Amino acid sequence: MASMEEEEEEEEEDNEQGKPKESKDSKEGRATESSNLRRIKYHNDSGVEINFQSMQIKLRDVHVAAAPPEVAQSLDVLAIFKRKLQCVRVEKASRREILRVVGEDYELHWWSDPSGPWPNSMSNFMMYNPSELEEDDDSLWILHLFEPLRMAYFKNHRVFMPDDDIPRSSAVIRLEVVEPGKEVCFEVFLYKNEMMAQCFRIVHHGWRFYRTFWWTTDHRLTLGDAQAPVDDRQGPWRPYMRHMAEIQARPASVTVVWRLPSHPQNVSGTRERFMSRDIIRGLIPEVLFKSYMFWQDETDNLRGYPPMKSKRELEMERLKKIKEKLAAAAGKEDESKDSSEKEEGGNKSKTMLHVKLKTDITVDFSGVKGCSVEIIRRPFQVDAKESNEKKKEKDQQKGNEESDTLLEEEELVLLNILHARSDTPLFSLARVLSRIERLSYILVWAKLSDPERRVYAIELPRLKLTFKARTTGDGITKLYSMDHADLMISNHRSSTMSRLLEGIPHSILLCNSNSEHKVLVPSVPVFRPNISSCPFSTELVLGLSDLMLPGGAPVNATSWRRSCETPFYLYPVHISKSFLYTPNLSSTVYLMCLRLLNRRYAEVFQLANAVGTDATLTNEQTLIFKMLREGDTDKHPDAHACRLKILLVTMDSQINTIWSMVSEFYSYLTKIKHVSSACRLSEAEEQLLMGKCNLMEDDLHREINFSGEQSSCLCDPVGIEALKQVNELSFECWFKHDMGDQPSDQLLFCIGQPPNHQLAIGFTAVEDRNMNKYGRRGGHWRKKARKKLVRKIWAEVKIAGGEHKRISTGQQSFNRYSRRQSSPESEKKKWTHLAVTIGSSNTISIYVNGSRKHTVFVSESTLFSGSFKPVFIGGPMTRNFDCLKGAVDEVRVFKKALSKNTIKSRQYKRMFAEDPSRHPLAAEVVGLAKRYVFEGDVHPSLVLPYCEDKVVKCEYDTKERNTKGDSEGEERKESKAADGQAADEGKLKEGEEAESVWEKAEVSRISSNGMVDLYFEDGSVKLGVNAKYLRKFRVTPKETEEEKKKKDADEKSTSKEAEQADKNDGEEEAKMKKDEEKKDEEKKKKEEEEESDSA
């Protein structure tokens, strides 16, 4: 083992023996060859020993090793060190282990049990009693504010509050919450003037306890950074909880990082303890943690140092200095220096914070004795050798002008605007600035030399804004912007200005010396939660911090700000104070989004004309356009019109489609009677939308659902007789279906009554669980069991001899169970476009989603020689077929065979008009034989084919009877007495058009030829009615025998009761009549006696 002391002794012995002493050059050469030995020689006080035999390093007789994982992975260690650490153990106790970082002036104290003693409750506190607060008018505000919070957070805890000796008139009340089995665990502060509460959690860190922020009822007025949730709600917010927010508790680090006095950045002269944000959050503004790292000295004072730079940053600074020296030597100015200063916002000097603790003083806002801190910002001198003469020269060059003095070069003290008294201007200032930014990101400074602590400057780092206080000639102090010339915060208020700012809660009003106003609006994400009990709410939530949307999508506020060219927008106000100017596209779209969320549709409709552009969108504009989707839940008629207007003006631009044009246009057409005149689209725009909606994919499916039972299939008794005149046919529909474990032939469309049908189209779908697939794993091919969904689509046509021939596409795998693909549940809901064509040469082709899957020639087909009625959809169930279990959208049947390109281009086309001749694309739908469009699960020409267990009711058009005059021989048994008069009324004069008079009827039978027999309410019957004269079909289950017996029994009992009641009524009437006759006789007898007496 070789050490430095032994090397020095050997050198002295050589000198005593008279050996020649090495020259200086030879020593330098030897040092160059073995630089490591030279380092050891000149650091004899380091205590480092190297054993070259075992290749081990010792520091003060302790082996050097990597930091343990529990230490290296601690939060505080990761925040300071960006690399692996080599440590030596200095001391070890029962709960604490001290490690020294090799090559650094740091010590790591790892606590196996970091929890220390809990704080004791104060002696002048009493138990919180809600009943006592109800009797005290001065303390009633405490009950209204804290009681809902206590029931939500501290229902099973004990709460203590100051006793009667503490003045209740103070603006802030401190409450202590004790958890069972512990001492004080939470502290709650109630603010009377703001009607706000905030809670702090007691956390342990290195055998000491600290107070850290947990939740608040108003996140705008706290020093901690918390984001309000944007989830949908059942009802509005409770009083005083409109801006409620809380943060998730994170455990404190188990390792305490100490910095030794020998560290170059340590200016305290004592050991310093690292204070992370997790243990002092909410005690100082959150923005200070972005620019400073806080260390606590042994006197409990804090210092905020600039963040330590990495090796890469230090190397860049070194290269920059070399470049400046070379440029100065060449006599040229370094242009890169000016550009870098411009990017950084000017000549930005480093500063340091001094947080001085003051104990045992009377706090102004609470009126009790406690602790407070004074935060002072001073310039941080990196080069300690800078002389006072250079400072004086800089001061002489700057002069005495205050406007040119940089804030970083002054000594300033931070003002506490959270606890300002309500009768001070600082209180009003906090309320104004909290509109555009949280108090946690607002720094209000006063000069340290000013004993009155008047406002000197205001910094909003996140918005990159700075305001400075200036006193005008009339003695009024105003806040002028340092970033915009001649702009200051305005106190102007009027009804027109309030109306203009309505719906923009995060805005302030600025003006210049000419009284020209501008509205400053920060660029932040905005959300409007849906409130079930208030469907037309306009309450907004600002996304000032990172949050999670109800659907699970994260919103990163930091990346939003980075994408924005400017963190705010300035909207000039028109001289009439009635509208705002929009300087660029980003500000226009942002204002339009705010107006849309505030449901001011007329203004949105006007602003939509200014968002059309053919240029490539920036990241900022793309994010704002996506934010327009926050109003998707708004189903107001004017909202549909506004969204269509935006889609029209951005139709030819590079903006991705925000909404479905077809869905919005369909909603617009259904509510067009309620669209206001200010938001009504022009006729040309409506025609353009009609054409566009038929050329793009439609997400709106007006489907009819089938349950897979016999009673759910539909029948068209009239059929499609137009197909008899042609020898070509095309079938087209959209459908989706459920999967089954067993294969089954589900019927989609059928012409004719099975099993004697002319044409049947359906599919077979099954979930194949026995599929084997070979995959390569570990260099060998192995068989892996896989699952897949298979389906084959088929068509059956009638051939000679009454038999049928089936044409099938074969099994097709249309989805696999893979993590990267959609799930089987989503595949079940996927719509499929199906088309089947039959040409004149009996060539049958099947197309699925525009792609031809199978083509076959059937020479013996007899399809066009039979009858084309009735037509079934979704059934019926026979020996060979099952009913459809799924849904069908639109069904079209053509009198010609469509080409492959036509089917591929038509799979996304929709038709809104029932009459093809009125459709804008009438030329493309020539040859349409029949079309079935389902609106509300019904179609005017479809009825249920089976009526054994159902009662089908409908309405019959008497116009059909009047025009024909009952000349076809139908039998109608009428119960009216005036048959001749009714017959005369049924006949029409020549040239007179009959009006439709609908009469309710019940379908008693559907004949084989598709005619319907009706039974009317008056007991009459009409046979062989064409289905086109019927409407409003209603299906109800028939009554069973038990129900009929029960109904008859009820009627009998009711009739008996009625007979008994009539009998009782008759007896009472007879008795009353008899009594009246007796009275009349007595009266008559009495009159006769009186007459005899008088005589």
3-state DSSP: the chain helix, strand, coil percent, rounded to 5?
A: 30, 30, 40
In this structure, of 67-71, 185-189, 293-297, 316-320, the range with the lowest mean pLDDT score is: 316-320
What predicted TM-score, i.e. pTM, was given to this entire model? 0.62
pLDDT of residue 794: 92
SS3 of 247-297: the string is CCCCCCCCEEEEECCCCCCCCCCCCEEEECHHHHECCECCCHHHHCEEEEC
Q: What is the arithmetic mean of pLDDT over 155-165? A: 82
- Confidence band for 591, pLDDT divided at 50, 70 and 90: very high
Q: What is the arithmetic mean of pLDDT over 419-431? A: 89
Q: What is the arithmetic mean of pLDDT over 249-265? A: 87
Q: Smallest Cα–Cα separation from 142: which of 173, 188, 107?
A: 173
pLDDT of residue 696 exceeding 80, the answer is: no
437, 443 contact by CB (below 8 A)? no
d(CA 946, CA 136): 77
Residues in the chain: 1095
pLDDT of residue 975 exceeding 60, the answer is: no
Say which amino acid occupies 178. Answer: V
pLDDT of residue 1011 exceeding 90, the answer is: no
pLDDT of residue 487: 92
Q: 1046: which 2 tokens?
A: 């029960």
pLDDT of residue 605 exceeding 90, the answer is: yes
Q: pLDDT tens across 298-319, in order? A: 988 999 998 876 556 667 777 8
SS3 of 929-974: the string is EEEECCCCCCCCCCECCCCCCEEEEEEEECHHHHHHCCCCCCCCCC
Q: Which residue has the higher pLDDT, 284 or 115?
A: 284
Q: 490: which 2 tokens?
A: 């305005």
pLDDT of residue 286: 93
Arithmetic mean of pLDDT over the chain? 77
d(CA 406, CA 882): 84
pLDDT of residue 145 exceeding 60, the answer is: yes
% the chain with pLDDT above 90: 23
Residue 983's contacts (CB-CB under 8 Å, 6 or more residues apart) are 966
pLDDT of residue 640: 93
Q: 1047: which 2 tokens?
A: 């109904």
Say which amino acid occupies 680. Answer: R
- Confidence band for 168, pLDDT divided at 50, 70 and 90: low
Q: Any idea which residue has 């938001």 for tokens?
A: 679
Q: pLDDT tens across 214-233, in order? A: 999 999 999 999 999 988 88
d(CA 525, CA 597): 12
Q: Smallest Cα–Cα separation from 301: which of 364, 360, 372?
A: 372
pLDDT of residue 741: 62
pLDDT of residue 406 exceeding 70, the answer is: no
pLDDT of residue 832 exceeding 80, the answer is: yes
Q: Which residue has the higher pLDDT, 683 or 836?
A: 836
Say which amino acid occupies 626. Answer: K
Q: What is the arithmetic mean of pLDDT over 171-179? A: 88
Q: Which residue has the higher pLDDT, 291 or 926?
A: 291
Q: pLDDT tens across 631-658, in order? A: 888 999 999 999 999 999 988 777 777 7
- Confidence band for 907, pLDDT divided at 50, 70 and 90: low
Q: Residue 494: how many CB atoms within 10 A of its CB?
A: 9
Q: pLDDT tens across 343-397, in order? A: 333 334 478 899 988 876 666 555 566 678 889 998 876 443 343 444 545 555 5
Q: Residue 566: how many CB atoms within 10 A of its CB?
A: 15
pLDDT of residue 819 exceeding 80, the answer is: no
Q: Order of strands across the sheet with 950-957?
A: 1021-1025, 1012-1016, 998-1006, 950-957, 1030-1037
Q: pLDDT tens across 49-88, in order? A: 666 655 566 655 567 788 888 888 888 888 888 778 888 8
pLDDT of residue 824 exceeding 50, the answer is: no
Q: Smallest Cα–Cα separation from 230: which of 626, 630, 550, 553?
A: 550
pLDDT of residue 784: 52
275: left (phi over 0), alpha (psi -120 to 50) or beta: beta
pLDDT of residue 341 exceeding 50, the answer is: no
Q: pLDDT tens across 703-747, in order? A: 788 888 777 788 888 788 788 878 889 999 888 887 666 777 889
Q: State the number of CA atoms in the 13 A half-sphere of 673 facing the CB.
A: 1
In this structure, of 113-122, 133-142, 618-627, 905-914, the range with the lowest mean pLDDT score is: 905-914
Q: pLDDT tens across 1019-1060, in order? A: 787 877 777 777 776 766 666 677 777 777 887 788 778 888
Q: State the number of CA atoms in the 13 A half-sphere of 669 facing the CB.
A: 14
pLDDT of residue 939 exceeding 90, the answer is: no
Q: pLDDT tens across 461-512, in order? A: 999 999 999 988 788 889 999 988 889 999 888 888 999 999 999 999 999 9
Q: pLDDT tens across 526-569, in order? A: 999 999 889 889 999 999 888 877 766 778 888 888 889 889 99
Residue 458's contacts (CB-CB under 8 Å, 6 or more residues apart) are 429, 433, 442, 443, 444, 445, 466, 467, 468, 469, 479
Helices marked H in 331-451 — which ranges? 335-344, 388-398, 425-433
